[in-house]
Structure 1
Amino acid sequence: MTSTWDMPPEPTPEPIPPMGWVRVALRGGALAILVFGGLLILLLVRVFERPIYGLRRPVTPHVTQFVCRNAFRVLGMGFATQGQWMKQRGAVVANHSSWLDIFTLNARKRIYFVSKSEVAGWPGIGWLARATGTVFINRDPKEARAQKQIFEDRLLAGHKLLFFPEGTSTDGMVVLPFKSTLFQAFFSDHLRHEMHIQPVTVVYHAPDAADDRFYGWWGEMDFGSHLLKVLAAPRQGKVDVIYHDPVAVDDFPNRKTLAAHVEATVRSGMPNDRQG
């Protein structure tokens, strides 16, 4: 187990050559049309979906999936999956190493992210997060009971919530210890007998000749600079998404044993040199 992480220094952004700016314009323009066009369609559909279905969202997640899957086509980036998506009620947990995880984990099946409340106020990303049904968690203890109720309501409505138990993003070369706090919600009497947890491993492979950490976004790295670097790349790498077998919450005595099991499972899907 990796108990600590010696965070590597953040790379200094390299100048983008003229042809790189051409790729930024072409890919960035196409990506903006795809994302914000999809957002507009999603919001329009949600106007009718919300009063009819309430918490359930039978239509809009398909819009999100379409946008996220095609984002990789726009970037020219490979996307592959292994394993089966779980059919049981419950949540998904994964390692976290890039803003690209938003596209990666939405591209195959419908999920709803669990995110810190600050993200809701971020320009662009915050709008997208709210529109796609993200559950925002405030660390204020005074709101713990209300947030727990929201968590339970969404899960019992059939939503598959996704969260990152590492609590931060990395350079993609390690899996950090999983924090067990959020797992406690699954041990309530309303949930534990019905819920399953599916571990998912996300592995980014850098473009040829690029630093292995090319897609990693960690520390205080600037989102805009990192986005430009990805858009400007002459060639792209790929991402592999490994869906491990889901486990029943009832099979574990407490949140710590459950967190330890799914952490070990996620780590097992990483290449040997990234297992820590």
Structure 2
Amino acid sequence: MSATWNTKDAPPEMKMGPLAWLRVVLRGLPLALLVFGGLLILLAVRLVERPLHGIDRPWTPHITRFVCRASFVILGIKFSATGTPMRHRGAVVSNHCSWLDIFSLNARKRVYFVSKSEVANWPGIGWLARATGTVFIDRDPKQARAQKEVFEGRLLAGHKLLFFPEGTSSDGIRLLPFKSTLFAAFFTPELRNILYVQPVTLSYAAPDGADPRFYGWWGDMDFAPHLLQTLAAPRQGQITVTYHHPLKVSEFASRKELAAACEKVIRSGLKLSPAAQAMLSKQR
């Protein structure tokens, strides 16, 4: 995850009454026990898994998927997925709306996120990211070669690395232009002819009557208030994950061409409510 996208439109104001705080407690405590309890179990299993399997993780991703799916049950958010996660060797690219993307994308398929290095030091999220095998990248050009080697090693090991080509999270009702920089890793001689990239669309439907951008995380939003807002919602919405047909890297002439193709496919799968469509049209 990275710094959030900025816009002149202010995020919706959060109002917290007594019942809202009660919902925070009733959802927040079980969620914390699930997430951090699952983290402790994962770390314990990893102590055995790592010496036996090294970079491979045949056991711990099952724990991650269980925690993510169970989290939606506790939150009361409806979760559904359409399409088929690819079996080919390669990477996954998705639009980026919220910290909830971590749960959404891990709930169905084993993936390993690619994130900026500063996320590793974030309380809570950073611990979870490191434990689940996230690849951290440094914006220092001097690290480019080393990072390229890490990407190649993980991809050749069969890991599905997940990239957010927008480079930041949005308000959840729009797709920002894709950046092609990270796509260059797929075009090395060792990878180009064997890799596929699967575009995945995340669609967030806000609770009935709520701002269409309810689950989006952007502007100067802090994590804690957004988490409280999600926990406090009297009704919850729905998250839909759409797996599109994988694209073979060797069929594209350049990273920019592949990035543009992925952006087009992901945009075509974005499901917006009438309220979200109206808001987006008004802002244009």
**Normalised TM-score (structure 2):** 0.93
Say whether the 8 Å CA contact 1:198–1:243 is kept in structure 2. Answer: yes
Say whether the 8 Å CA contact 2:27–2:74 is kept in structure 1. Answer: yes
Distance across 2 between alignment mates of 1:22 and 1:238? 22
**Residue 271 of structure 1: how far off its partner (Å):** 3.1
Aligned to 1:129: 129
Say whether the 8 Å CA contact 1:10–1:221 is kept in structure 2. Answer: no
Aligned to 1:218: 218
CA 1:7–1:60 in 2, change beyond 3 Å: closer, same or farther? same
**Residue 11 of structure 1: how far off its partner (Å):** 2.4
Distance across 1 between alignment mates of 2:38 and 2:265? 34
Alignment of 1:1-276 (within 5 A): 7-11=7-11, 13-271=13-271, 273=277
Note the alpha carbon deviations across 1:207-256, whole angstroms, 9 max, x for none. 00000000000121011101001100111000011000001000001101
**Residue 8 of structure 1: how far off its partner (Å):** 4.4
Say whether the 8 Å CA contact 1:180–1:255 is kept in structure 2. Answer: yes
DSSP-derived class of the 2:173 partner: coil
Note the alpha carbon deviations across 1:163-192, whole angstroms, 9 max, x for none. 100001000111111100000010001101
Q: For 1:229, give the aligned amino acid.
A: Q
DSSP-derived class of the 2:150 partner: helix
DSSP-derived class of the 2:260 partner: helix
Distance across 1 between alignment mates of 2:75 and 2:217? 17
Say whether the 8 Å CA contact 1:13–1:225 is kept in structure 2. Answer: no
Identity %: 64
DSSP-derived class of the 1:96 partner: coil
The two structures, once aligned, show a CA RMSD in angstroms of: 1.4
**Normalised TM-score (structure 1):** 0.96
Say whether the 8 Å CA contact 2:192–2:250 is kept in structure 1. Answer: yes
Say whether the 8 Å CA contact 2:97–2:171 is kept in structure 1. Answer: yes
Name the stretch that deviates more: 14-23 or 111-120: 14-23
Q: For 1:190, give the aligned amino acid.
A: E
Note the alpha carbon deviations across 1:96-135, whole angstroms, 9 max, x for none. 0101001000000100000000000111110100000000
How many residues were matched structurally? 272
Distance across 2 between alignment mates of 1:6 and 1:120? 22
Q: For 1:128, give the aligned amino acid.
A: L
**Residue 15 of structure 1: how far off its partner (Å):** 2.7
Note the alpha carbon deviations across 1:57-94, whole angstroms, 9 max, x for none. 00000000000011100000100111011000000000
**Residue 270 of structure 1: how far off its partner (Å):** 1.2
Distance across 2 between alignment mates of 1:186 and 1:241? 24
Distance across 2 between alignment mates of 1:72 and 1:168? 23
CA 1:168–1:6 in 2, change beyond 3 Å: closer, same or farther? closer
DSSP-derived class of the 1:166 partner: coil
DSSP-derived class of the 1:198 partner: strand
DSSP-derived class of the 1:207 partner: coil
Say whether the 8 Å CA contact 1:91–1:196 is kept in structure 2. Answer: yes
Gap runs ≥5 in structure 2: none
Q: For 1:122, give the aligned amino acid.
A: W
